[in-house]
Amino acid sequence: MLENYDLHNIMVIDIETVPQYSSFDQVSPVLQKLWAAKTQYQRKELTPEEFYSNAGIWAEFGKIICISVGMYTTNGGFRVKSFAGHDEKELLEKFARMLNTTNPNLILCGHNAKEFDFPYICRRMLIHGIRLPIQLNLNGKKPWEINHLDTMELWKCGDYKNYTSLALLAAIFDIPTPKDDIDGSMVGYVYWVEQGLDRICTYCQKDVVATAQLLLRFRGEELIPEEMITVVES
């Protein structure tokens, strides 16, 4: 079935998110209470303040600092670009403008993106008053009208039980991934404490490449050679 998709009409996406504030005491008293209520079952013995480092998971309490996108090229390569910055609204406006100038039937693809990346982007756009690009506006659409692919969903093969990480799938499909100096759990610390946005962008771009390679494996095709992968400056 995947063989019927035109690779050149697929955009692979990954996002990185962090808590909106560097520390819990910067959160308004109203949102502090709402954070405590929202996370009462997830944080277990931890206090709301102790659990705040996880706030980037929720669109209501986090923000996007990087969206990396990639497209397959006609010469068998892959091009990656990132929208990154401290001003989330500006970042999202640039990303929306890019989507608005592409094919309205563009297929968006990510790993666990239907559950996390796509809804998160939509929610943060709505919060900032940004009109959703047609590729992300799912209102009134039937399931078969939604042009989204999710490599985690594809791997489930109809199973509903559990999450499978991109790192695990890359390992079992023998997709080479360079050792990173950070992982997803470290993004908030690297951003707020180490001011390492560039490192986070590199990490995000590598996930886009890994997802693109995984999709090729699912199609039974050869991987893109490393020398054919290009990172485009934003």
Residues 144-166 pLDDT 10s: 778 899 999 999 988 877 789 99
pLDDT band (50, 70, 90) for residue 115: very high
Strands ordered across the beta sheet of 10-19:
148-150, 107-110, 10-19, 62-72, 78-84, 229-232
Rounded to 10 deg, the angle between the 88-100 and 117-127 helix axes is 110
Q: Are 96 and 125 in contact (CB under 8 A)?
A: yes
- Chain centre distance of CA 159: 22
Q: Are 213 and 109 in contact (CB under 8 A)?
A: no
Task: Write down the pLDDT at residue 179.
Answer: 63
Task: Write down the pLDDT at residue 144.
Answer: 75
* Dihedral class, residue 69 (left if φ above 0, else alpha if ψ from -120 to 50, else beta): beta
Mean pLDDT of 27-35: 98
pLDDT at 234 over 70: no
Task: Write down the pLDDT at residue 191.
Answer: 96
Helix intervals (H) in 115-196 = 117-127, 151-156, 166-172, 187-192
Which one has a higher pLDDT value, 1 or 189? 189
pTM above 0.85, yes or no: yes
**CA distance linking residue 169 with residue 152, whole number of Å:** 9
Domains of the chain: residue spans and CATH: 2-20+61-232 (3.30.420.10)
Residue 63: C-alpha distances to residues 15, 192, 196 (Å): 10, 12, 16
Pairing of strands 78-84, 229-232: parallel
Q: Are 1 and 158 in contact (CB under 8 A)?
A: no
**CA distance linking residue 180 with residue 206, whole number of Å:** 9
Check residue 229 and report its DSSP letter: E
Residue 18: count other Cβ atoms within 10 Å of its Cβ.
Answer: 23
**CA distance linking residue 38 with residue 146, whole number of Å:** 30
Percentage of the chain lying above the pLDDT 70 cut = 98
pLDDT at 219 over 90: yes
